[in-house]
Amino acid sequence: MPALTVVFRTQSQSEAAVVRGLLEANGVTAMISSDLSRTPFPMSVGDLQVMVGDDDAEQATRIIDSHREEGGPGRVVPFGTELVPLEERIGYRFRDRGLLEHALTHRSRVHEDASGGVFDNESMEFLGDSVLGFAIADMLFRQFPQHNEGQKSKLKASIVSATSLARLAERLGLGDFLILGRGEEKTGGRRKHAIIADCYEALIAGIYLDGGIGPAQGFIERQFQGLIDEARRGGVHAGFTEDYKSALQEWLQREGRGLPTYRLAGETGPAHRRSFEVEILVGGEAIAKAEGKTKKEAAQLAAREALTMLSAEF
């Protein structure tokens, strides 16, 4: 095996891939390596290295340097610059943008990457769910001292539902920043509620890992205070937890279209993190489908999609 030289270091899988592509487009064979084992949280500085043969090292360095020049075509910039708009929307600037990239990376991207240097956000999603649950419980404890445990639990379940997370993620435009595989991109992954809701939880974990519990709680409070205020005014069913199934049934009956039928169209993921896809049929014709963490949630999201589509027809 020929001797190799490291010509570029980064925390970003995407930036490493860009640099490798740049070198290979200029006739220099390159590879990406990591000095870390594959772990759920690849956070060490400089853990990804772009390497070339010793004989190509000087040329590779010139190519990379030439593309760092301000205004140069296809210039190399630190990965994450394009994520500045997202940081502005969430009100938090990452010290380690590799964490933000990690939070945005869907498993479909990992499945299509042959380098082994890309990590999906599922472990971060798990952590973010716990951080979110803690922060919301703290807010409810302080703001609803008169409520008993059961009432607080119902409020919490309503406020942190996947439907709520997806809608908040849509407000941030989170789907525009997702790092998806080509297959998921083609099937509209940026608009799938299950994907962006999971990414929203991973984003919370990213803020927590980068800045600690204070910034994470601050983000959650800014995002969820409106929902909590609505819950205070209208009860546990306020906010983004509308009964779309009932609304769809009423709409169809008014239009003389008959009752909808809900059918399980598929299941994905491991047993402990199942995702369900539910399809709605009207008159035997499929009109909408959606994914959710439970069949009930998927049915509600599918009903919401159906209402949106049907409303656009009239």
| Residues annotated as part of the active site | 129, 201
Dihedral, CA atoms, 9, 15, 17, 21, nearest 10 degrees?
-100
Residue 279, H or E segment: strand 275-282
Neighbouring residues of 193: CB distance < 8 A, sequence distance ≥ 6: 162, 163, 166, 290, 291, 292, 301
Between CA 50 and CA 250 the distance in angstroms is: 59
Between CA 142 and CA 147 the distance in angstroms is: 10
Residue 225, H or E segment: helix 213-234
Both tokens of 56, joined, read: 């190509």
Give the other-Cβ count within 10 Å of 83's Cβ.
16
For residue 9, what are the β-bridge partners? 49
SS3 287: strand
Between CA 203 and CA 265 the distance in angstroms is: 29
Between CA 108 and CA 86 the distance in angstroms is: 22
For residue 286, what are the β-bridge partners? 281
Residue 275, H or E segment: strand 275-282
| Short-list 64, 36, 66, 37, CA closest to 50 | 64
Diameter over CA atoms, the chain: 75
Between CA 280 and CA 261 the distance in angstroms is: 6
Give the other-Cβ count within 10 Å of 185's Cβ.
15
